[in-house]
Amino acid sequence: MGTGTGPQMLAGLGRPRCSSGIPQDLGSSWCLPRVSGASLPPAGSLVGAQVTSETTQVPENSAVDIYCTAYKPSMSSPRIEWKFQKGTSLVLLYYGNELTEPYKNRVQFSSTKIHFSTVTREDTGKYICEVVEGSSQISKSEVNLIVQVPPSKPVAHVPTSATIGSKAVLRCTETDGSPPPTFRWYRDTMLMPSDPKTSLTFRNSSYTLDSTTGELTFEPVSSFDTGDYYCEASNNVGSPQKSDVVHMEASKEQGRGPGRCGASPGSARLRLARVMFRGELPGCVSTCYPPACRVQRNAN
């Protein structure tokens, strides 16, 4: 039994078409297999089909059964098709009485279910079972599979300096957790509440905290916002993970503050520093104005 080949571009139309003559689905880059004596339902035939949906969660590297509740033992010679949807990508899993190539060594098929011997995080997505009986009787069931993966160590994106009265956005990112984690922020080891006005410690700060995106936004920044920040990611799978600590200094002007150069480009203080130090100013960090962080040696 043959399989379809890659999509070919029709001259002048810019539309991909498979050599099998069966069009691609949802704009994806694969072609449906060429199957003798089998054809897809007419366009729009799934409209009004009976649909059931459920969600299943399993740990990564475990086995799982995904059931096709659309199938009924009383059906007479039904045709069963399985598809896998992840975002806008739709891939055939079982078609024309056989598993497609990516799944042949990983999945076992029966009329009532498909069995994965082991799943990875890449298997998270929607599994669609379509059962066609006769020429028009269609049933459909969907299973949203979430492969559980604990979060990895998140990264805290924190500016090392922020100007008082301006806006500062801190971001916490983590890419491995499944389901996607939620985030919490800490300042000086203290948990920051979602509403600063509910806490005596944070009531002088003005910020919003989005636990879903991990964004912590100060608007405006105040002197009370100086501190050591880190974030935490958790999704109820494994242990919560904490980022490294990053210090943010709130000051009236960017580059000023304890341990900073404290001089703006072209200032009299900086000109004096060039004469006195003839090298790199003590206490300078990368967040200072570039001319202030490294001073040219005096020619004399």
184-188, 222-226, 262-266: segment of lowest average pLDDT: 262-266
160 and 236 both lie in a single domain: yes
**What's the pLDDT at 240?**
97
Whether the upstream peptide bond of residue 220 has omega within 30° of 0, thus cis, is yes
Residue 109 lies in a domain: yes
| Across 260-264, average pLDDT | 42
Q: Quick one: which H or E segment has residue 132?
A: strand 125-133
Report yes or no: 204 and 224 within 8 Å, Cβ to Cβ.
yes
Which CATH number goes with the domain that contains 164?
2.60.40.10
161 and 235 housed in the same domain: yes
159 and 75 in one domain? Answer: no
81-128 pLDDT tens trace: 999 999 999 999 998 889 998 899 899 999 999 999 999 999 999 999
Does residue 163 share a domain with residue 134? no
If one compares 269 and 201, the residue with the highest pLDDT of the two is: 201
208-233: average pLDDT? 98
Whole-angstrom Cα distance, residue 279 to residue 62?
A: 61
User: What digits encode the pLDDT tens for the residues 17-40?
Assistant: 343 333 334 333 334 443 333 333
More reliable by pLDDT, 278 or 143: 143
Sign of CA dihedral 133, 139, 143, 144: positive
232 and 266 together in one domain: no
The full length of the chain comes to 300
Residue 298 domain boundaries: 261-300
Nearest to 288 by CA among 258, 243, 268: 258
Amino acid 52: pLDDT: 80
Q: How far apart are CA 214 and CA 45, in angstroms?
A: 43
Residues 189 and 218 in one domain: yes
Q: Are 181 and 229 in a shared domain?
A: yes
The number of domains in the chain is 3
In a domain, 6, yes or no: no
Please say whether the beta carbons of 179 and 148 come within 8 A: yes
pLDDT the model gives residue 75: 83
Q: Name, in order, each residue with C-beta under 8 angstroms of 195's C-beta and a sequence gap of 6 or more.
A: none
The verdict on 278 and 297 lying in the same domain is yes
73 and 109 share one domain = yes
Residue 42 lies in a domain: no
pLDDT at 239: 95
* 96 found inside a domain: yes
User: Which of 148, 166, 193 is the endpoint of a domain?
Assistant: 148
pLDDT at position 17: 37
Structure tokens at 276: 């006195």
The domain boundary residue, chosen from 102, 125, 148: 148
Report the mean per-residue pLDDT for the chain. 77
d(CA 72, CA 139) in angstroms, rounded, equals 10
Asked if 140 and 50 count as a contact pair (C-beta separation under 8 A), the reply is yes
Residues 129, 77 within the same domain: yes
Q: Examine residue 32 and state whether it is found in any structural domain, yes or no.
A: no
Residues 139 and 52 in one domain: yes
Grade residue 73 by pLDDT with cuts at 50, 70 and 90.
Answer: confident
- 135 and 167, same domain (yes or no): no
Of the residues 94, 120, 148, the one at which a domain ends: 148
Element (H, E) at 58: strand 50-59
Does a structural domain hold residue 17? no
In this prediction, residue 74 carries a pLDDT of 84
User: Per mean pLDDT, which range of 8-12, 145-149, 185-189, 197-201 is the poorest?
Assistant: 8-12
pLDDT value of position 50: 65
Does residue 36 fall inside a structural domain? no
Q: Would 286 be classed as within a structural domain?
A: yes
